[in-house]
């Protein structure tokens, strides 16, 4: 099978491209810079450019769509352009090219409205109530993708939750840098239970969804390790792996949420060079429980995670060894 993987220059996209390659398939990647994955065909371009997308989808049998604008801040129009319109452009191109399968890689944030999630399954994507530009536009894109599901183009959405691992710049690197600088607080007592997903498990689940799409198309699945941990424990594990002191100072969650809203307003007018130190969405993620029932995911996708949280932390520690 010839499989297109978009967004393969990121941590998860690269792991997915490698997993599909190792399963014996012909892999083409599509993103703005080289993927760095050996043994695949790189096509450079943007999901916002119709000609680039049509070049990328030529002759493929299936696609795994990970390319997205992932950020806590930025111009709202950029999120729409990449996440929503880019997905729309890809869907049209796949239909014209006759590709039969699409795994749309989404996020549990598409159905998170700021309250705790305690053992829920995958709720419908909710663009109206999702928090932040990223979550709202990913929700819109997932709605588009699943609406395109048909006998000719079978679509399944997979929502890996808090993906991390060696080389991760989105979560691990920021946690380590802020902890090292003493700028990483615990909200309340850091006791909220959260699920996370080691990167190899997320990649294998997405590959499983590709194989099972004929049976499960039209559905959305949350993917996690199935090992919820208190926020403080997970952050401490990441910090220990990197050899930095775990966060010990606390901020009330209500204060962090108010501060996050204020910082978002400032960032829209005068954006900084990096991500804002706090947003309302981030404060909600760090102070509310969000762990998920994995029974339907594992049964329908015929998948189980192979790397435990503790094994993942040991691999992370090895990554940080001098």
* CATH number of the domain that residue 215 is part of: 3.40.50.720
| Tokens 């997993």 -> residue | 19
Residue 23 maps to a domain: yes
- Check residue 259 and give its pLDDT: 59
Residue 135 maps to a domain: yes
Is 211 annotated in the active site? Answer: no
- Check residue 58 and give its pLDDT: 96
Residue 25 maps to a domain: yes
Cα separation, 316 vs 133, whole angstroms: 30
Q: In the structure encoding, which two tokens stand for residue 192, read together? A: 């909220």
- Give all strands (DSSP E) within 243-283, no chain letters: 250-251
Using 50 as the pLDDT threshold, list the residues of the chain that sit under it.
Answer: none
- Check residue 116 and give its pLDDT: 80
- Check residue 289 and give its pLDDT: 85
Residue 167 maps to a domain: no
- Check residue 285 and give its pLDDT: 65
Burial (CB count <10 Å: 0-12, 13-18, 19+), residue 159: buried
Residue 148 maps to a domain: yes
Q: In the structure encoding, which two tokens stand for residue 262, read together? A: 């204020």
Range of the domain at 24: 2-161+197-224+292-306
Q: In the structure encoding, which two tokens stand for residue 57, read together? A: 């989808």
Catalytic residue of the set 134, 211, 221, 320: 134
pLDDT digits (tens, 9 = 90+) for 135-174: 999 999 999 999 999 999 999 999 999 999 999 988 898 8
Residue 107 and residue 224 in contact, taking contact as beta carbons nearer than 8 Å: no
Q: In the structure encoding, which two tokens stand for residue 133, read together? A: 């530009």
Residue 46 maps to a domain: yes
- Check residue 203 and give its pLDDT: 98
Residue 279 maps to a domain: no
Residue 12 and residue 24 in contact, taking contact as beta carbons nearer than 8 Å: no
Q: In the structure encoding, which two tokens stand for residue 199, read together? A: 């990167």
In the chain, the number of structural domains is 1
Residue 81 maps to a domain: yes
- Check residue 132 and give its pLDDT: 84
């Amino acid at each position: 099978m010839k499989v297109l993987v978009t967004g393969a220059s990121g941590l998860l996209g690269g792991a997915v491209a490698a997993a599909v390659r190792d399963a014996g398939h012909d892999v083409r990647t599509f993103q703005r810079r080289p993927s760095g994955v050996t043994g695949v065909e790189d096509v450079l371009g943007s999901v916002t450019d119709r000609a680039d997308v049509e070049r990328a989808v030529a002759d493929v049998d299936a696609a795994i769509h990970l390319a997205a604008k992932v950020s806590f801040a930025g111009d709202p129009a950029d999120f729409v352009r990449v996440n929503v319109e880019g997905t729309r452009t890809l869907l049209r191109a796949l239909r014209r090219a006759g590709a039969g399968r699409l795994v749309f890689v989404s996020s549990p944030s598409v159905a998170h409205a700021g309250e705790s999630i305690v053992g829920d399954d995958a709720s419908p994507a909710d663009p109206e109530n999702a928090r932040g530009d990223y979550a709202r536009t990913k929700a819109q894109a997932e709605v588009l993708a699943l609406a395109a599901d048909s006998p000719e183009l079978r679509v399944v959405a997979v929502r890996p939750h808090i993906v991390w691992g060696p080389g991760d710049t989105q979560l691990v690197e920021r946690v380590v840098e802020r902890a090292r600088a003493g700028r990483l607080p615990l909200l309340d007592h850091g006791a909220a239970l959260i699920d996370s997903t080691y990167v190899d498990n997320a990649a294998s689940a997405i590959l499983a969804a590709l194989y099972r799409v004929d049976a499960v198309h039209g559905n959305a699945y949350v993917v996690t390790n199935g090992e919820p941990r208190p926020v403080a424990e997970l952050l401490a594990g990441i910090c220990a792996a990197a050899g930095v002191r775990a966060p010990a100072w606390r901020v009330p969650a209500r204060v962090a949420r108010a501060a996050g809203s204020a910082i978002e307003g400032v960032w829209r007018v005068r954006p900084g060079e990096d991500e804002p130190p706090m947003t309302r969405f981030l404060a909600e993620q760090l102070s509310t429980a969000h762990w998920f029932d994995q029974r339907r995911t594992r049964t329908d996708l015929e998948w189980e995670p192979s790397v435990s949280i503790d094994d993942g932390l040991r691999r992370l520690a090895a990554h940080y060894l001098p």
